[in-house]
Amino acid sequence: MDVTEKIDQHIQQIEAGITRLERSRNRWALSSAIWSAIALLALAAWASECRGEDLRPLLNAIAKVESGGRELAPYYDVNGLAIGPFSIHKEFAKDVGRDWKRCRERAYAEKTVVMYWARYKANSDYERAVMINCGPGWRKNRKAADRYWAKVKGNMKGRER
């Protein structure tokens, strides 16, 4: 059974669980559980597509470009209020069901970023992952996104596997 079949099987199980859960009274708590399950499946799918590649050089390079690798207090950038070593915005974290306030913590922020990449199908393409990290408007401002990719790539030199 390949990865795609396993994912399809898990999605069917989740859909069956959703049907059962919808009958329950406490939908709010259950929707959180569903989001977590979907996010974990997406993360597992993306990680398997990476074929075990180490994401550490990429994550370190992005954190270096975004914040110098520091766990920053909230600050405003061109897109609004952002926090943490990856300059995560509230909408970014919310998009994958994560607690934005915890994105100051390096490990939590890394998982949030990887989940975001999985959701938007970065596959194992580092450049695509970086472009997705730029946010939904990266296609509109391709020159800025290309400059961002060049900075990240420059910070990966000599640190790749």
Q: Does 70 share its domain with 40? A: no
Cα gap 102→90, rounded to integer Å: 11
How do residues 37-62 score in pLDDT, each as one tens digit? 665 565 555 555 554 457 889 999 99
How do residues 73-100 score in pLDDT, each as one tens digit? 677 777 788 899 999 999 999 999 999 9
Provide the domain limits for residue 99. Answer: 56-156
In a domain, 66, yes or no: yes
Amino acid occupying residue 98 = R
pLDDT for 70 equals 81
Answer with the residue of higher pLDDT: 132 or 46.
132
How many domains does the chain divide into?
2
Q: Does 62 share its domain with 141? A: yes
How do residues 98-120 score in pLDDT, each as one tens digit? 999 999 999 999 999 999 988 88
Q: Does 92 share its domain with 14? A: no
This model's pTM is above 0.95: no
- 5 has pLDDT over 80: no
Answer with the residue of higher pLDDT: 3 or 149.
149
Q: Does 45 share its domain with 70? A: no
HEC sequence for the chain: CCHHHHHHHHHHHHHHHHHHHHCCCCHHHHHHHHHHHHHHHHHHHHHHHCCCCCCHHHHHHHHHHHHCCCCCCCEEECCEEEECCCCEEHHHHHHCCCCHHHHHCHHHHHHHHHHHHHHCCCCCCHHHHHHHHCCHHHHCCHHHHHHHHHHHHHHHCCCCC
In a domain, 161, yes or no: no
In a domain, 101, yes or no: yes
Decide if 112 contacts 84 (C-beta within 8 A).
no
In a domain, 97, yes or no: yes
In a domain, 15, yes or no: yes
pLDDT for 52 equals 42
